[in-house]
Structure 1
């Protein structure tokens, strides 16, 4: 797992309302504090996700929608 993802997982595994330090967690995982803060807050995404034509979540939704269309009566599958 990517160090930034490990740090975010550690933050999210804590109980709601528990205090934590971005600085301490960032240092423990060897990542930049500001990057960790932004990723955890959802302000930025990983470089690979940001440069995709379609966000992975949108891709999943589109595939699900296409699957529902192909399951309709009268749809002829090719091949």
Structure 2
């Protein structure tokens, strides 16, 4: 368990109504006070969760898109950026638009 997780577990064990002391807890476990405070209050999540929220396609959807690209390439038809955007929209099943530069990134 990393220091931040240990500090969060310590804060979760506080009795109801007891005010958390983020500075003391952060020093005790050797982690950043502001990160501890934000995580405990639910303002900020772990970076992995933030990264997942920013992704256009999840892992399975990305694999599906890669399979599609590989099949087209095997046939000698490399997909254009517009084709990639359209197929990604179909995979996602949402109306949110993909940026013009999305395939290049």
- TM over 0.5, shorter chain: yes
Aligned length: 54
1:15 aligns with 2:8: no
Q: CA RMSD in A?
A: 1.6
- Return the structure number with greater relative CO, CA threshold 8 A, min gap 6: 1
Task: List aligned pairs for 1:1-79, cutoff 5 A.
Answer: 1-53=1-53
Structure 1 residues not aligned, in runs of 5+: 55-79
* Pairwise CA distance, 1:18: 1.9
TM normalised by structure 1 equals: 0.61
Of structures 1 and 2, the larger Rg is shown by 2
Gapped regions of structure 2 (runs ≥ 5): 55-105
1:53 Cα deviation after fit: 5.0
